[in-house]
Amino acid sequence: MEPTALQNDRLGGLFTTLCQINSPPRHEREVAEYVKGFLRGLGLSVKEDHASQVVGGNANNIVANLPANIERAPKIFFSAHMDTVTPNPNVKIIIQDGKIHTDGTSILGADDKAGLSTILEALRIVVENNLPHGQIQLLISVCEEVGLLGARALDFALVDSDFGFVYDSGPPVGSVIIEAPTHDKLEVRVIGKPAHAGVEPERGISAIQIAAEAIASMRLGRIDEETVANIGIIQGGQMTNIVCPEVSIKAEARSWNPAQLDAQIAHMVAEFERAARKFGGRTEIHHERHYEGYRLSEADLPVKVVRTAAQKIGLEAPMRRTGGGSDASVYNARGLPCCVVGTAMQKVHTHEEFVLIDDLVRGVDLTLAIIREVATIR
């Protein structure tokens, strides 16, 4: 087989096999065992960390290593995650007209098994053909879909890479995400005072009224070109004849500009506190920096490598930014430079999710081109 030629049925088979393994967050053990067996079959050394003890799941992050067969090339990593957004125990896959999708009763799980299968197939081709390469690590995480918990729990002592590539975005294949926002979360407990709503409501303090006053006064949604904010969950109340004594609220804000994010969070906190004072209640507010944002340029080595490799095989490599997070947010914050690379996944997290086999093929071709490009760097 030519080094860059692909057996489409083998690649498609790998992808569909991974999709048919149920792996919601904290339940990735079966797919982790498959991935470990696959990599060990290629001769890679495979280790697990102890992330399960942190995230409360049944599987750990996988760190695999393929030693270099050339000298002085940079050490790189490829990363994908094993979990899918929802349980998917009985996925029925349909392959038709070059497209892989389900029967419409479940998600496909292409996020992130499109990325995972692309990386695995490329490594298989590298090993089978003894292609020249520097050291390659794989960082395969758990619990990405529930707040990047796996990457946040990764044992970075196992990581030995100069820079890398996270396969966790949609087409076009070869696109590069160079900017992601900083993401903060708020958990708010609004405390009022119960009273009989029909007999003496004036003795009560409605936590719902406090929350409503605060939220109605907040700037939410699209704040500016760089910042968004949202109230996502409101829970409270017991019965209609009781003045509500307590409400719990979960909110978030994200921004590509950390100063704007800080200002938005301060505004939201101030509105909750102002409304509580107005009605005589109180608040308990927990603020968490969920993950840090990052900003790369076309001069940064991960971006430069992807774009050069893509152009050499005839792919465009547009640079873009995202409003979401990925494991790249964690890795960059830990001083491990990386960019997110576009893969075959489309309409993810829905029952209309699909991949084009041609896009899977392009993803593997791109991965091989990246490995070739890195091998030329001294």
Residues marked active site are found at 83, 144
Q: How far apart are CA 44 and CA 109, in angstroms?
A: 26
Helices 357-375 and 301-312 cross at an angle (nearest 10°) of 120
Q: How far apart are CA 122 and CA 14, in angstroms?
A: 12
> Taking the mean position of all CA atoms in its chain, how far away is CA 107?
17
Cβ atoms of 243 and 198 within 8 Å: the answer is no
Residue 45 host element (H or E):
strand 45-48
φ/ψ (deg, to 5) at 26: 75, 5
DSSP 31: H
Q: How far apart are CA 341 and CA 296, in angstroms?
A: 13
Give the number of other Cβ atoms within 10 Å of residue 332's Cβ: 23
SS (H, E, C) 311-369: HHCCCCCCEEECCCCCHHHHHHHCCCCEEEEECCCECCCCCCCEEEHHHHHHHHHHHHH
Q: Which residues contact 217 (CB under 8 A, 6 or more apart)?
A: 271, 274, 275
- ω into 112 cis (within 30 of 0): yes
Q: How far apart are CA 106 and CA 284, in angstroms?
A: 39
Q: How far apart are CA 363 and CA 313, in angstroms?
A: 11
Q: How far apart are CA 117 and CA 12, in angstroms?
A: 9
**Beta bridge partner(s), residue 177:** 320, 340
